[in-house]
Amino acid sequence: MTDMKRFTFFLLALCGIQIFPQITITKDFTFGNNSIFETSFDPNQTILSNNTIILPDHSILQIVSVINNDYILKLSPSGNLDPGFGNNGRLALGVNNFVNAVVQGDKIIVYFGPKSLDHSNYLDSKIVRLHSNGSLDITFGNNGVLNEITESTHPQALSVLVLQDLSLVVTNSAETYPKKFTMNGELDTSFGNNGEINYSYHFPIGQFSNGKIATCNVNSLSSSLFSFFDLNSLSSNTVLDLNNYSCHQNNGFPIQNKTNNSTRITSDGMAYSVFEYQNYPLPDFSRLIVMRDGQLDSSFNGAGFITSQNDEQFLDASSANSLFLTLNQKANQQSLTAYSASGVSLKINNQSEFSLSSGNEIEMKDNYILVNSIVPDANQNLVKMKIEKFIMVDERLSVANNSLKNITVENPVKDFLRISNAENADRFEIYDMQGRMILACKTPENMNTANLTKGLYLLKIYFKSGEHFSQKIIKN
């Protein structure tokens, strides 16, 4: 072996922990038809929008709006239409101004914005609750329907938030205060001002595990005004106007033309938004902006945001397990990029990005990704929708933390996990390769793996420091 070859081998051996991809993404060929579920609608109708909701049991609701009809599709975790839902997996909602749907325990809340007389019987905003099989739940509201009169003619002037106790916060226009309803659709007159939440900021986007509610002002496309409040202390709140921060500036100058493409929260107090900026003669670009505990999170990339390349658009972003994925488009090509919780760019399959054939929206859940798309048919009509599923493995190891580098796992596993150098671990979890959690325990000695079927699994170890360790394991 020459000196140069010896030196190269030494470097690979020394740095071996770093040459593997930090994030691995592969197609889940057990889902749908070789990782894809695809379906078509009326060839004379155009799909206007579709979005994905992942249920606790990993089944999937697909919310689809077309020009003259709206649908909810329910898929099993394996990516096939659920024959026990609606009409063989499809529920047609009729010609209504369908806005969106949310999940309330094992129920489905569907809400409609205002419609004019000549289009529908739903003249004003209405909220409907369905059983998990798609049938109307007549125990909700008035025989399954909660009528919400709205002063606004804007079709998106309705928002429904399901709280931790399954009660509802409903906002029906920018001119009125939100209202709180019981889980069964009755106005909670014991709360606030006869059920009204006297708080100036509307359109709640979610509730954190500490009970606080995040809201976003969606009266304009910029949607840069956020607020965070506690239902039990409405006078104690935090208002965050991103227009006052560097995330909406370029070289110190405010950016005027901006669009909020997506806003989400996580249970631990984080909110994040994807903004698109179009300010000629500047090249178009996008930013992922991260907020935590009611403030711009300066620990994320040192500024609270990351910026796309020139003429690259962030279409969507999703977060899970201390990881961000952004769905990007440049020219006609979509791709995924990955970032750590601190905003550090991560490699996917040892590349800077993961190319996709299409994509409009992404959803992350445990260890898998769903990419949701509206795709053209052979005649370039937008009448087809597609969901593609990918398995994601986070293979990051903290090279700065010897306690993580020194962890050893007996592999293949036997009847119990045998792990060394993980004394400071907070919990242990095992997932199958479809992303479903199989086992969870505080100590590996109590995690009985004897009944696991033969195959490949993912072990995740979470530490009190906030770090985590992942490794594929085999059960023979």
Q: Classify each residue of 102-139 as buried b or exposed e, where b means 16 or more C-beta atoms within 10 Å of its C-beta.
A: bebeebbbbbbbbbeeeeeebebbbbbbbbbebeebee
**Contacts (Cβ under 8 Å, ≥6 apart) of 11:** none
User: CB 241: neighbour CB atoms within 10 A?
Assistant: 12
Predicted local confidence at residue 19, as pLDDT: 36
Q: pLDDT for 414-449, tens place per residue?
A: 888 888 887 778 788 888 876 677 888 888 777 888
User: Could you tell me if residue 450 is left (phi over 0), alpha (psi between -120 and 50 degrees) or otherwise beta?
Assistant: alpha
pLDDT of residue 432: 80
Give the model's pLDDT for residue 163: 93
Report the distance separating Cα 263 and Cα 226, nearest Å. Answer: 10
Low-confidence ranges of the chain (pLDDT < 70): 1-21, 95-96, 114-124, 148-157, 173-175, 200-202, 218-222, 234-236, 396-405, 434-435, 464-467
Domain ranges, ordered by start, for the chain: 408-475
Beta strands, E only, 221-311: 225-230, 233-241, 249-250, 253-254, 258-265, 270-277, 285-292, 295-296, 305-307
Q: What is the per-residue DSSP string for 287-338?
A: EEEEEETTEE-TTSTTTTEEEPPTTEEEEEEEEETTEEEEEEEETTEEEEEE
Q: Is 234 exposed, middle or buried (0-12, 13-18, 19+ CB in 10 A)?
A: middle
- Cα separation of 81 and 95, whole Å? 23
Query: 318: how many CB neighbours lie within 10 A of its CB?
Result: 20
Closest residue by Cα to residue 181 from 131, 135, 219, 231: 231
Domain 408-475 has CATH 2.60.40: yes
Q: What pLDDT score does 114 carry?
A: 65
Structure tokens, 330: 């440049």
Residue 377: C-alpha distances to residues 31, 47, 380, 381 (Å): 22, 12, 5, 5
pTM: 0.78
> Cα separations (Å) of 170 from 51, 131, 285, 447?
20, 20, 34, 43
